[in-house]
Amino acid sequence: MITVTEDRFRLAQAFTISRGSKTEAQVLTVRVSRDGQTGRGECVPYARYGETMASVRARIEGLPPDITRQALQSALPPGAARNAVDCALWDLQAKQAGRRIWDIAGLPAPGPVVTAYTLSLAPPEAMRAAAAANAHRPILKIKLGTPDDMPRLEAVRQGAPRATIIVDANEGWTPEVYADLAPHLLRLGVALVEQPLPAGQDDMLAGIERPVPVCADESCHDRASLAALKGKYDAVNLKLDKTGGLTEALLTRDLARQMGFRVMIGCMVGSSLAMAPAVLLAQGAEWTDLDGPLLLAEDREAPLYYDAAGAHPPDASLWG
């Protein structure tokens, strides 16, 4: 049996990117129950990819109740619906076997991963204050993507002079804006720039100097999307809601590395249930951005544990 519920988790404060703001995480929780065991998975439908809570729920509820993880890969396309079911099936398999998921998958036992902490888009003074309040964190990711980003970037660096900075433009720049900002990104010690140009218009990156590594986010989904990114991007941001689950994400990660890409593991704004399988995926990644639970005012029972070492692998009672 496959069941789907809509859950909402209040955010600690409003979260803003160039496309808008939110005050809660709206997620779908999938439960797959068989032979007295239940596996869980979570997804975040994303309007940028044409998904709604209703459309993703309908896709999940249209699946046969006995679907296997292997059959799921062709039954649904990459996206949020397949992610939640795929992760629930992994969790179910672990529970049925009484073993941890990494043992079943033939992967090394995971350890904690240092994660970025995201500062949402705000006026420069507010971003300076937010950076100062989180200056103890090793990596700050800042949401930009407007024509007036330079004062924001300067403000964050002033607020957190020693933190590593990742910039996420969320497709918000033009080639001219990126070319103008690039030397300043280098000067201010930015380690990575995510998706500076809109997906579909990123061919121009192949002809632009990239003094700071550029990472594909909206342009990268699954293995099939990687070939078109060569020569334009230095890294790829893999998210379970884009790959359509852990099964495809592991394959995409391995192929990306074989192709010479550096790897970032990211997330939508969701609960610890969504981050749990991503911690497994993030082992060995150059960058990790799994801060969703850190942005919440409330979370799942048995949430992920975060400390100075980063996001720790999940307890079996949460997932896997």
Which amino acids are annotated catalytic?
143, 239
Please report the DSSP string for 127-147 in residue order. Answer: HHHHHHHTTTSSEEEEE--ST
Which long-range contacts does 207-212 make (Cβ < 8 Å, 24+ apart)? Answer: 208/175, 208/178, 208/179, 208/182, 209/182, 210/182, 210/234, 211/182, 211/183, 211/185, 211/186, 212/182, 212/185, 212/186
Task: Give the separation between CA 153 and CA 129, rounded to whole angstroms.
Answer: 12
H-helix or E-strand spanning residue 183 = helix 175-187
User: Is the torsion defined by CA of 137, 118, 314, 252 positive or negative?
Assistant: negative
Residue pair 20/78 in contact (Cβ under 8 Å)? The answer is no
H-helix or E-strand spanning residue 13 = strand 2-17
Helices 246-258, 272-281: inter-axial angle, 10-degree rounding: 30
Of 80, 81, 100, 83, the closest CA to residue 91 belongs to 100
Which tokens hold the place of 171?
């497709």
CA angle 266, 270, 275 (to 5 degrees): 55
Task: Give the separation between CA 156 and CA 177, rounded to whole angstroms.
Answer: 19
Residue pair 234/210 in contact (Cβ under 8 Å)? The answer is yes
**What b-and-e string marks burial along 159-187, b requiring 16 or more CB atoms within 10 Å of the CB?**
bbeebbbbbbbbbbbeeebbeebbeebee
Residue pair 118/166 in contact (Cβ under 8 Å)? The answer is no
